[in-house]
Structure 1
Amino acid sequence: MSVIQVCARCAGRWPVLGAPAQWCPRCHGVLLAPIRTEQQLSPDQRGFRWVARPPLRRGGLAADPPAPSPTPHYTDVPRWGLQDHVDSSPGGRNWPEALADKAATFLIATAGLYALAVPAELGRYAVLVWNRTRLVDPTVLAVSDVAVFVTQAGGMLFALLSGISGVCWLLRIRRRTFARERRSDPRSAGELIVGCAVPGLNLVMPGVFLLEVVRRDPRAVTLVRAWWAMWVFGVVLLVFNWFWRSRPGLQAMADGVLLSAFTAMIAAATALLALLVLRRLEGRTLKGTKEAVTRWVIATDPPSESELPAKNSGTPDQEALAS
């Protein structure tokens, strides 16, 4: 009489020696309850049942192939991923921001027109000198007049646009600077506009407004002071030019032409300095590219031989005489 245990996984028969085992030594499957080989037990009383399989078919009966299903597709636009939220409500254009963005362009145009006005005024002065002894061709005179009018009138127009856009840019740069420092601007927008628009005040307050923003940048402070001085000098020179043109006489008119050329040169320099200040505060170069950040690293290693100062290459006698 023998007692065996049948593996539920590989159907292997293992004799029971002592206490019943739990795991199959071959496949580590679960061993069923022990049974006696000489007793014929009904399937209900056995802890297992035999399943007949065809030869070389270890996986059992093959399952029926699945029926073809429709191609998977989205019934709606997927909501995952990047979302582009478009504001359907019609919003008005932010004109102060748009003008602030155009400040650099207007300053470049102003500097260019006044720079062209300098040779135009000098050309008019040359025509006046030539006309003292000879007749001037009407075509040359018309070209000179058109050149002076276009450059001077265009320079004044773009200077006005530069002033308006410059005020908008000043409001924006002050708002960003104080927001970066987590402080509120001590001056209101109305105070800034009045200080930049009222004659007399606009000679003093724009420089003060800028210095309140750039007080921690020595180079920017130097640029603001240079622009401030050039701005005041240009306004004084413009007023002097108006009074000079009211003087009678041909010589006064000729001198007024030279004074206009000098005034145009100062105006071009003022616009260029204003552009430098704008680029400096925005962290950009004069061309508008991003300014490279200088990083300083503390040197911890001793200097190499190439970094040491050159030693005296003279002979020992020369060194003794030198000492």
Structure 2
Amino acid sequence: MPVRTDVYLPPSRRGFRWIARNPGEPRGVGDPNPPRADPSTPRYDAVPTWGLTDVVDTSPAEESRADRMADRVGSLLTIAAVLYGLAVFAELGRYTILVYNQTRLVPQLLLRLSDAAVYFTQLGGLLTAVLAAVAAVCWLLRARRDLYAREKRTDPRSRGEILVGCAVPVLNLVMPPLYLLELVRRDPRGSRLVKIWWGFWAFSGFLLVVNAYWRSRPGLQAMADGVLLSAFIALIAAATAALLLVVIRRIEHKDWRGEPDTATRWVPVPRSVLENAVPASSVPENAVPEKAAAQ
């Protein structure tokens, strides 16, 4: 009669009992040829595969789009700094042409070349700066994530809070430097670099307001002065981009080329050692150590 195993029954009502036997003993009563255990050491032609197999995926995780954008922050900031640096010379060239045009005629080809240089450098620098800003925000999110993961702590600022602080005008002049200062709180030199960049970043925002007001003024002299102001703004923008690249490389412990920075350790040397040291220039080239000469 079948016995239900899903309902508990006392041993007296089960109708069966468990019996433990030696593996070498016969399994049934009355077996004519009971199997005997092989006394030799078991051997296998292949590695046994019984049991639960814990398959660990060792393939590298695919980078997200934000991480790929963060990897380009160095090149984008470099291009932006170079374009704004060229924009300074383009604006100064345009101002020189304006001064020259007060007394003499300027060839049409020269004017077109000057306008093309200004438009190319200023617009190219602006577009590259926008892409560099997006890449810098992606880099900031990744840097904070890695830092707090190493410290086994949770970032007190959410992703949305950081994005709002970096995207909202006026607020983005204050919050991004604070986010960076939280990354370099244990690095005094890094903190100084962030504060210097903060000064240039805030000053560039102020210059944009001044430039908008200056362009609303009528008159040729105001237009000529606006050219000089544009050159100065481009210079500050180039310095701001270069300083931000220096800050990022400092946090990443890399040099300006993106290579891992090697730590330099300065060791104090007693004056007596320096006085007894023999300059390398005073040793003859054919000098042989005494032990080597004796051999």
TM-score (norm 2): 0.71
Question: Residues 219-257 of structure 1: CA distance to partner in whole angstroms, max 9, x if unpaired?
Answer: 110110000000000110111011101100000000000
2:273 corresponds to: 304
Give the number of the structure with larger relative contact order, counting CA–CA contacts within 8 Å between residues 6 or more apart. Answer: 2
Match of 1:203 among 155, 166, 173: 173
**Counterpart amino acid of 1:274?**
L
1:171 corresponds to: 141
Q: Return the offset for 1:294.
A: 2.7
Question: Residues 127-186 of structure 1: CA distance to partner in whole angstroms, max 9, x if unpaired?
Answer: 111111111100000000000000000010011001100000000111111111111110
- 1:232 maps onto 2:202 in alignment: yes
The runs of at least 4 consecutive aligned structure 1 residues that moved more than 3 Å come to 83-87, 295-299
Q: Return the offset for 1:304.
A: 2.3
- 1:130 maps onto 2:100 in alignment: yes
**Cα distance change, pair 140–302 in 1 and its aligned pair in 2 (3 A):** closer
Aligned-residue RMSD, C-alpha: 2.3
Q: Return the offset for 1:303.
A: 4.5
SS of the counterpart of 2:273?
A: coil
**Cα distance change, pair 306–151 in 1 and its aligned pair in 2 (3 A):** same
Match of 1:107 among 77, 80, 87: 77
1:22-61 map, 5 Å: none
Residues matched between the structures, number: 222
Match of 1:119 among 89, 110, 135: 89
**Cα distance change, pair 185–267 in 1 and its aligned pair in 2 (3 A):** same
Counterpart CA distance in 2 for 1:307 and 1:237 is 59
2:292 corresponds to: none
Counterpart CA distance in 2 for 1:287 and 1:266 is 22
1:58 corresponds to: none
Question: Residues 8-44 of structure 1: CA distance to partner in whole angstroms, max 9, x if unpaired?
Answer: xxxxxxxxxxxxxxxxxxxxxxxxxxxxxxxxxxxxx
Counterpart CA distance in 2 for 1:121 and 1:102 is 28
Match of 2:187 among 204, 217, 234: 217
TM-score (norm 1): 0.65
Match of 1:289 among 259, 268, 273: 259
Counterpart CA distance in 1 for 2:86 and 2:68 is 27
**Counterpart amino acid of 1:174?**
R
- 1:189 maps onto 2:159 in alignment: yes
Counterpart CA distance in 1 for 2:182 and 2:58 is 38
Counterpart CA distance in 2 for 1:168 and 1:221 is 21
Identity %: 55
Counterpart CA distance in 1 for 2:274 and 2:260 is 37
**Counterpart amino acid of 1:232?**
A
Structure with the higher fraction of residues in helix conformation: 2
- 1:250 maps onto 2:216 in alignment: no
Looking at CA atoms only, which structure, 1 or 2, has the larger radius of gyration? 1
**Counterpart amino acid of 1:121?**
E
Q: Return the offset for 1:295.
A: 3.6
Counterpart CA distance in 2 for 1:186 and 1:93 is 24
Counterpart CA distance in 2 for 1:287 and 1:162 is 17
Counterpart CA distance in 2 for 1:234 and 1:303 is 53
